[in-house]
Structure 1
Amino acid sequence: MRFFSVLYNKAMGWSRHRHASRWLVLVSFTESSFFVVPPDVMLAPMSLACPNRAWHYAMLTTVASVLGGLLGYGIGALAFSLVEPLLHQLDYWDAYLKARLWFENWGGWAVLLAGFSPIPYKVFTIAAGVVAMPLLPFILASLAGRGTRFFLVATLMRWGGVRMEVALRKYVDVMGWGAVVIAIVGYLLLSR
């Protein structure tokens, strides 16, 4: 069944679209404060499709993500009571509490780590606003964490280039179905 090949081909087609950069900026900005799709899902295929523009895409993603992080910071500082129910509803409350604990223990290093890791960055941007983290360290940590992550993704895609695109196209269905099996097994093991 070639389900993942179809998705891969569509993603690669979209990544070459003339408005792809605008969508990348929008996704990067919104993911830092409220949207759930990480920008990596656009950055990687765009960097793979146009390796010579990979670092340009990484810069767009980083800047838009940090600006979106400032929106998240503002939400935490000015409107936390409005978003608290959403954190509960979207099952981010435990992550928010963990972010608060990290701020108490490590301060700005928590933002740096969250910016680089797969931990939801939006939770940390909101928490930074709630605890009134100083703005300059927040921006610098966000630039360092997000920039490192996005430039790493772009560099790997640029390095792999056409060879990686061909290899992914060849094995995408096997990898996709393998990920589905791993996710199901993991869910079954963790739900006991």
Structure 2
Amino acid sequence: MLRRLYDWVLSLAARKSAEVWLAVIAFVESSVFLVPADVLYLPMALARPDRAYRYALVATVASVLGGIAGWMLGYFAYDQLARPILEFYGKAEAFDQLRAGESGVELVLLMLVTSGFAHLPPIKVVTILSGVVAFPLGWFVLSAVIARGLRFFLLAWLLRTYGDEIRHFIEKRLGLIAGAVAVLLIVIFLVLKYAL
């Protein structure tokens, strides 16, 4: 099922309405959807490199708005809506572990690492968690704009600079690099927190 969903999202890049679909996918990815917006963004930006930054802006704005929707789900409707969504994706246990160990600064770092680089845990888990713990919405939006903007605009720059040859690198190795960066940021955070 996941592969069919992935292929369907990828097929949207060829449509005239691709930019609208990019906004829709980026929005729902941040609150309830499984497939990342990158799947649609990459072929769109490769097909139209002159619009790579425009697509990055669309994806960033829609992703932040979707993150706000996820925050609202967590804040206003956790038991009724958010918990069943997390259970559907098999993320309820991961959510409970995050919920048990959060604090303000750690949550901001987690959001930045998660949404900006690694998708670990998925952004929808972090946005819902932020609402459940009533993380300040202004700080949440600011961190989401920075993290998601960095992700999409970095992809735009890479695609504009290196073209199609970077696509295979991004698709195959970005997860590993993102994970390494995430681990490095967490280690730096822990060192700063416990050594100072």
Tell me which interval the TM-score lies in, with the shorter structure as reference length: 0.7 to 0.9
Q: Does residue 1:152 correspond to 2:154, yes or no?
A: yes
Out of 100-109 and 50-59, give the one that drifted further: 100-109
* 2:115–2:147 contact (8 Å) kept in structure 1: yes
CA RMSD of superposed structures (Å): 2.4
Q: What TM-score does the superposition give when structure 1 sets the normalisation length?
A: 0.74
Match of 2:179 in 1: none
Residues 103 and 110 in structure 1, CA contact (< 8 A), matched pair in contact too: no
CA displacement, residues 34-56 of structure 1 (integer Å, 9 cap, x when unaligned): 01110000111111111111011
CA distance in 2, matches of 1:91, 1:79: 18
Structure 2 runs not aligned, ≥5 long: 1-6, 173-196
The gaps in structure 1 that reach 5 residues or longer are: 1-6, 176-192
Instruction: Give the TM-score normalised by the residue count of structure 2.
Output: 0.73
Asked whether the equivalents of residues 72 and 122 of structure 1 are also in contact (C-alpha less than 8 Å), the reply is: yes
Percent of residue pairs bearing the same amino acid type = 38
Alignment partner for residue 59 of structure 2, among 61, 76, 86? Answer: 61
User: How far 1:90 moved relative to its partner?
Assistant: 2.1
Aligned counterpart, 2:95: 96
| Distance verdict in 2 for CA 1:14–1:130, change over 3 Å | closer
Q: How many residues align?
A: 159
Partner of 1:22: 20
Q: Deviations 1:11-67 (Å, cap 9, x if unpaired)? A: 5x7424321000000000011100111000011111111111101101100000000
Alignment of 1:23-172 (within 5 A): 23-82=21-80, 83-101=82-100, 103-104=102-103, 106-116=106-116, 117-119=118-120, 120-161=122-163, 163-164=164-165
Larger CA deviation: 113-122 vs 43-52: 113-122
Deviating runs (4+, > 6 A) in structure 1?
A: none
Q: RCO greater where, 1 or 2, for CA within 8 Å and sep 6 or more?
A: 1
Largest Rg, 1 or 2? 1
